[in-house]
């Protein structure tokens, strides 16, 4: 689902670029990407989907996984990085609607950029069009601010610009790069109620979550900080969030070719998704006319001490 086209690359660089800090370039399909850089690292963002496709702290390995089969063609969701799921998460939309909403397959516009000694940032925007109203009949204003500093921080802001309240489910869906999924564990969910989305079995998590099997867990969270421990790469990926009621942890395990779109059969070994989200239709966030809701996530790679 396409929003109005963004400016061309030259215009974007003239209006919003900064040499060495904020640079726009074309993707393989011609859509704009933007590279952010400073002393803390680098990141790349596709304006199609407002999708962070890479994040690499200075002196460290990449933090995000991207599938070798990623497809950047129109209407196709990017596989890897950090997808934005909005105005519904998973299958929480109307019956028959596309999974994870239309924001991740829309062309966003650049609202502004900024940089200082400590931060490089871009704000992207999406608003309702005839096409979005056909899928979801509500006026809205959506902004995503992506900030590169000591941490990578994303803030997704939803404003109801209509005259009637509406409900959303939403989430960030980061694919974190790991050496071997089977050796990774997630810390921070001990004691959290959980639903296994594969069979809707309910339980309470005890201790760290081992990631040595297919996983599709939906945790109801009270804590706001988690750590994905990866002994293979000798690091922890710290994730903090607010504005979400759930934390989804997903890895499909071995899959047949084509079973998951744009995911190779062996890709499952190299990532774990840790997703701050609000989902299930009965848990939708209600936003009154003129009201605002923010979903916030910060990511930091912490090397293991020698």
**Domain boundaries in the chain?**
9-303
pLDDT digits (tens, 9 = 90+) for 226-265: 999 999 999 999 999 999 999 999 999 998 887 888 899 9
pLDDT of residue 305: 66
Amino acid 5: pLDDT: 42
In this predicted model, what pLDDT tens digit does every residue of 43-57 receive, in sequence order? 999 999 999 999 999
**pLDDT tens per residue across span 102-112:** 999 999 999 99
What does the pLDDT read at residue 4?
A: 39
Strand 271-278 with 285-287, pairing: unpaired
CATH number of 9-303, picked from 1.20.1250.20, 2.70.98.10, 1.10.10.10, 2.40.110.10: 2.70.98.10
As a whole number of angstroms, the distance between CA 128 and CA 159 comes to 11
* pLDDT at residue 1, rounded to an integer: 47
Identify the burial level of 139 via C-beta atoms within 10 angstroms of its C-beta, where 0-12 means exposed, 13-18 middle and 19 or more buried: middle
């Amino acid at each position: 689902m396409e929003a109005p086209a963004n400016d061309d690359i030259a215009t974007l660089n003239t209006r919003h670029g900064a040499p060495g800090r904020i640079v726009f370039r074309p993707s393989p399909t011609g859509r704009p990407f933007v590279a952010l850089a400073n002393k803390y690292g680098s990141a790349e963002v596709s304006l199609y989907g407002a999708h962070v496709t890479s994040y690499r702290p200075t002196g460290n390995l990449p933090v995000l996984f991207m599938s070798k089969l990623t497809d950047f063609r129109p209407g196709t969701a990017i596989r890897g990085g950090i997808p934005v799921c909005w105005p519904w998460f998973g299958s929480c939309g109307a019956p028959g609607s596309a999974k994870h909403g239309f924001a991740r397959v829309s062309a966003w516009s650049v609202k502004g950029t900024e940089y200082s000694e400590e931060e490089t940032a871009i704000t992207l925007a999406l608003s309702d069009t005839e096409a979005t109203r056909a899928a979801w009949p509500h006026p809205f204003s959506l902004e995503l601010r992506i900030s590169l500093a000591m941490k990578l921080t994303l803030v997704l802001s939803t404003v109801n610009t209509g005259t009637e309240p509406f409900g959303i489910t939403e989430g960030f869906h980061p694919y974190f790069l790991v050496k071997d999924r089977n050796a990774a564990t997630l810390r921070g969910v001990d004691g959290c109620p959980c639903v296994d989305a594969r069979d809707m079995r309910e339980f309470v998590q005890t201790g760290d979550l081992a990631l040595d099997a297919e996983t599709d867990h939906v945790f109801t969270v009270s804590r706001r900080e988690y750590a994905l421990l990866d002994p293979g790469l000798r690091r922890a990926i710290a994730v903090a969030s607010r504005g979400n009621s759930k934390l989804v942890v997903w890895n499909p395990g071995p899959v047949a070719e084509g079973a998951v779109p744009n995911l190779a059969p062996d890709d499952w070994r190299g990532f774990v998704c840790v997703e701050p989200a609000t989902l299930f239709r009965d848990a939708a966030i209600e936003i009154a006319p003129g009201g605002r809701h923010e979903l916030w996530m910060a990511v930091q790679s912490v090397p293991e001490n020698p």
